[in-house]
Amino acid sequence: MIISIIRTLLLYAFVILAIRLMGKRQISDMQPSELVVTLIVSDIAAIPMSNTSQPLLSGIIPVLVLIACEIIASIIMLKNRKFRGLICGSPITVIEDGKLMQNEMKRLRMSTEDLCIQLRQQDIFSLDEVQYCIVETNGKISVLQKPEKRTVTLENLDIKVPDTKLETVVISDGQLLQNSLRLCKNDKETVDKILYKENVAIDDIFIMTLDGAGNYKIITKEN
């Protein structure tokens, strides 16, 4: 039992590392090749995990080979558009200038119900609102609404607003987050000055947000 637990933990950590090497993507955002590799990796890793008579290398080596192939393929796809099109396919327009492209939908084996479901998930409840709809290589759709249906922006109204830059959580439960500080273009000295000004210790802070313009908000821990 102890051996099984140790093997499971080792394979669990190894598979996580292997998937991380492929890049940070959710299942729904994966390209076909990435999804296939992920599914095969999980199956291969399960064999030595459930069968203790199988050596660990029988699961680790095939996974390493698959990940190496995927990384090499992704590098080639960056350099060669034809190879990328062969592996991942290309985006397909199913609505063009407000016209439903029936042949393209048949090619995708996509029903009108499937299309309407994805449109509703983007808060579009009528085909009449859509000017262009493109099915991306990961299966999701990108939609451009007709001009009269698009949301009015401040630029359309010729209104200028101050740019506060990116706001991030720089302190979480008493811990300073260095990566968040870099994102909002600040440093620890800025945080220290704010804490001194507010007369509060970092250990007493539940959440502190800060943006690139120096605006901040502090929520202290409840007693």
Sequence-ordered alpha helix ranges (H) in the chain: 2-22, 32-50, 57-79, 81-88, 102-108, 112-120, 178-183, 188-198
Pair of tokens at residue 47:
């064999």
Residue 191 near residue 208, CB atoms below 8 Å: yes
User: How far, in Å, CA of 78 to CA of 23, rounded?
Assistant: 14
Beta strands 167-172 and 99-100 are unpaired
The per-residue pLDDT for 62 is 87
Q: How far apart are the first and last CA of the chain?
A: 44
How do the pLDDT tens digits run along the chain, 223 residues long? 677 788 888 888 888 887 777 765 665 667 777 778 888 888 888 887 777 777 878 888 888 888 888 888 888 888 888 888 887 788 999 999 999 999 999 999 999 999 999 999 999 999 999 999 999 888 889 999 999 988 888 888 888 887 778 899 999 999 999 999 998 889 999 999 999 999 999 999 999 999 988 899 999 998 7
3-state SS class at 139: coil
Q: Indicate the pTM of the whole model.
A: 0.65
Q: For position 25, what pLDDT does the model report?
A: 60
